[in-house]
Chains A and B, each alone.
Chain A
Amino acid sequence: MIQQSNKPVIRIKNLTRTYKIGTESVHALRGVDLEVCQNEYVAVMGHSGSGKSTLMNLLGCLDMANAGEYELNGIMTTRMSAASLAHVRNQQIGFVFQSFELLPRMTAQKNVELPLIYSEMPFWKRRKLAKQALERVGLGARIDHKPNQLSGGEKQRVAVARALVSSPSILLADEPTGNLDSKTSASIMQLFEQLYAEGQTIIMVTHESDIAAHARRVVRMRDGQIVSDLPIEQDPVNTHNQGPEEAPQ
């Protein structure tokens, strides 16, 4: 079922992001070039503060770059209006956050339906798709649970279901296992593996080598720049001669 194709989903050129705090400016991204094709599974690694989250937020159209270009599925997103960007996020992007970001008063079902509400979908279709997405992540039995009635792993599964429900062209995950224990992390990685096998393009940020080891390609960052971009077989993650990355922060 794996369909390797060379059609680029993401193409960024010289992407720059500078934060201004008072008179000081923090260069979080200093001209990043990256191309990700359909059905790739990429892990982004790097020290804390190297700009991984900044990159992911730009890829997820949650933030605007100061300079550079970002083409998503052939659409140039730089200089789009806020409303058009919202549409792009809704249709093309599934984002999984480290801290789940579920709405606490809504059931799992309602949380997963959220993106579909904003794509003007009739409610019966919404319900069906949300249920399917929850079944896909193995939570068919937790549909009516609220976030506080779910475990951490289950919450993240709901978040993944929400990211997948509108069949986005890319799944972005910023430290999806950062708040989970190793066993639960492994099960989430298994889920990602399954999604990848089903043809989903995935980009995830992680600190842990054993999580990154699930990807097929590893991008390493330092000081807002990409320092290495290699297939997993050639990346030091796989050579075991390097210990785990420094603990975050």
Chain B
Amino acid sequence: MKKLLLIPILLLRLITQSALLALNQIWVNKTRSILTTLGIIIGVSSVSAVIAAMSGMNNKIMENFETFGTKKIFLWPQRPDSGSKKNLDWWQIRFKEEEFEDMLEYCPSVEFRSFVSDGRNLPARADDTTVEAVRLNGVETHWFDIENREIMMGRPFSHLDETQGRKVCIISKQLRDKLKMDRECLGQTITFGHHMFLVVGLLEEKPGMMFDEGNRDNLEAYIPFKTMRKINNNRWFSVIASCKSTDVAEEAKAEIQFFLRRTRKIRPGEPDTFRVMVMENEIKQVMKVFGMISMVAFGIVSISLLVGGVGIMNIMLVSVSERTREIGLRKAVGARPSAILTQFLVEAVVLCLIGGCIGLFLGHGLAVTISKVVPMMESTRIPLWAVLLSFGFSALVGIVFGMFPAIKAARLNPIDALRHE
């Protein structure tokens, strides 16, 4: 029983002894060892950098979707690819307001809905300041809920604004500043084109998105949908909605489809004359593609680890053959085959772990550089699991590729080894 307890202690001692011996051996052949582990170094550094970049990008994409809104549903008219309505012109398939009247009642998974009359660029003027082109959008008041845009000052559109099509607007901070208006701009007026609007609300700044940072100056102005209809001949509009939670995104889509087919009187079997796009689905799609890219990248860099392993095996074979006399001597004074096996195996593992350490260090440097250079990957860093994985993989490479040379050394006959030139 006592002997059984001693085994792990002895094993631990054997391994520490071998590790010290291995470090000594590696230190003696510094240059060669570093060159040997180059494969492992490159492998581990690229693997960890790729993982870091991928997880950084993953976070960023998720963050962006989060900001953009994962619950959004987009609706727009679209000519079907087939069927009798294939050749209808846009006028015939356009949305009509009355088609959406009872939508929220019939679609229990849908939370909000807003018509969107897509923007027109109009010159804007406040007092003496003019801005060439401002994007004027006609929306309903729930648009701000769906887009998650907070009105930091003033109020949203009121019922009266909407039903009567009053000339009120909600503008962005950037537009206010560009027009050199007072900070407290509520109650002042802006002229868009030939129409004068009362400013009733000021929008909170739009959170930055992945691909449009800096290149749009967010000169936005929103007016009630009805108002837009009055000042604009354009009868075309789309609809934006939101589902109650991302879990019911699919249901919401089905409900809307069913509802719209009924209100638009599309007979069974005929294709839709509109499109419903659920953000949640798009996210899933993107994440799937992203996951596939990660796997491919990971696979490619794993090959370099394999190549690194072959390098380790090669150098261990060299090490065994040039130290054959030493092995012989060690055996002559009483080293068991298992001791020799452990010695060379541990040496290979230590070599790989050193390579893994340097590789992680370089990988970290690479990740930091990426995060500094590429703005959309600023949260790039090596996750803990990747660090552990790298060490695990390095050790595994050491064991797998060190095993053959170690067995070769352990099997040597003492006298044959001693006589080796």
- Contacting pair B333 A89 (CB below 8 A): yes
Q: B306-359: which residues lie under 8 A (CB-CB) from chain A?
A: 325-326, 329-339
- The smallest beta-carbon distance between A31 and chain B, in angstroms, is 20
Segment at the interface with A among B74-82, B92-100, B232-240, B412-420: B412-420
Residues of B within 8 A of A57 (CB): 415
Complex: how many Å from CA A57 to CA B332? 10
Residues of the B chain whose Cβ atoms lie less than 8 Å from the Cβ of A95: 332-333
The contact size tier of chain B is 20 to 34
How far is A221 from B275 in the complex, measured between Cα atoms in Å?
Answer: 104
A57-B415, A62-B418 given; A119·B334 CB < 8 A: yes
Contact B415 A63 (CB under 8 A): yes
A168 to chain B, nearest CB (A): 10
How many angstroms between the C-alpha atoms of A95 and B325 in the bound complex?
Answer: 15
Specify which of B10, B335, B336, B339 lies most central, judged by the most chain A CB atoms within 10 Å of its CB. B336
Check B336 against A82 for contact (C-beta < 8 Å): yes
Determine if B13 is an interface residue (Cβ-Cβ < 8 Å): yes
**Chain A 124-162 per-residue mask, 1 if CB under 8 angstroms from chain B, else 0:** 000000000000000000000000000000000000001
Given A57-B415, A63-B413, A101-B329: A86 touches B334 (CB 8 Å cut-off):
yes
Contacting residues, chain A, for B59 (C-beta < 8 A): none
| A60 within 8 Å of B (CB atoms) | yes
In the complex with contacts A63-B413, A63-B415, A118-B13 CB distance below 8 A: no
What residues on A are CB-neighbors of B337 within 8 Å?
A: 82-83, 86
Residues A101 and B418 in contact, CB atoms below 8 Å apart:
yes
> B13: shortest Cβ distance to chain A, in Å?
7
* Cross-chain contact A118 with B333 (CB below 8 angstroms): yes
Contact status B334-A87, CB under 8 Å: yes
Check: A227 CB closer than 8 A to any chain B CB.
no
Whole-angstrom distance between the alpha carbons of A196 and B333 in the complex?
21
1/0 per residue, CB under 8 A from B, across A48-88: the answer is: 00000000010010111000000000000000001100110
Shortest Cβ distance from B329 into A: residue? A101
> Counting CB contacts under 8 A, is A197 at the interface?
no
Query: In the complex, what residues of A have CB within 8 A of residue B13's CB?
Result: 120
Query: Which B residues lie within 8 Å of A64 (CB)?
Result: 413
Contacts of A115 in B (CB 8 A): 333-334
Interface presence of A213 (CB below 8 A): no
Q: Which residue of A lies closest to B334 (CB)?
A: A90
List the A side residues contacting B339 at CB < 8 Å.
118
- Is A117 in contact with chain B by the CB < 8 A criterion? yes
| Chain B residues, Cβ within 8 Å of A62 | 331-332, 413-415, 418
> Per-residue 0/1 for B141-177: is the Cβ within 8 Å of any A Cβ (1 yes, 0 no)?
0000000000000000000000000000000000000
| B284-326 Cβ-contact flags toward A at 8 Å (1 or 0) | 0000000000000000000000000000000000000000011
Residue B64 interfacial (CB < 8 Å): no
Q: A90-B333, A95-B332 are in contact. List 8 more A-B contacts (CB 8 A).
A: A62-B331, A62-B418, A64-B413, A82-B336, A86-B331, A87-B334, A114-B333, A118-B336
A sample of 27 cross-chain residue pairs with beta-carbon separation below 8 angstroms, ordered by A number, consists of: A62-B414, A62-B418, A63-B413, A63-B415, A83-B338, A86-B334, A86-B335, A86-B337, A89-B332, A89-B333, A89-B334, A90-B334, A95-B333, A97-B418, A101-B332, A101-B418, A105-B24, A114-B329, A114-B333, A115-B333, A117-B17, A118-B335, A118-B336, A119-B334, A120-B10, A120-B13, A162-B333
- Chain A residues at the B interface, C-beta cutoff of 8 Å: 57, 60, 62-64, 82-83, 86-87, 89-91, 95, 97, 101, 103, 105, 114-115, 117-120, 162, 166
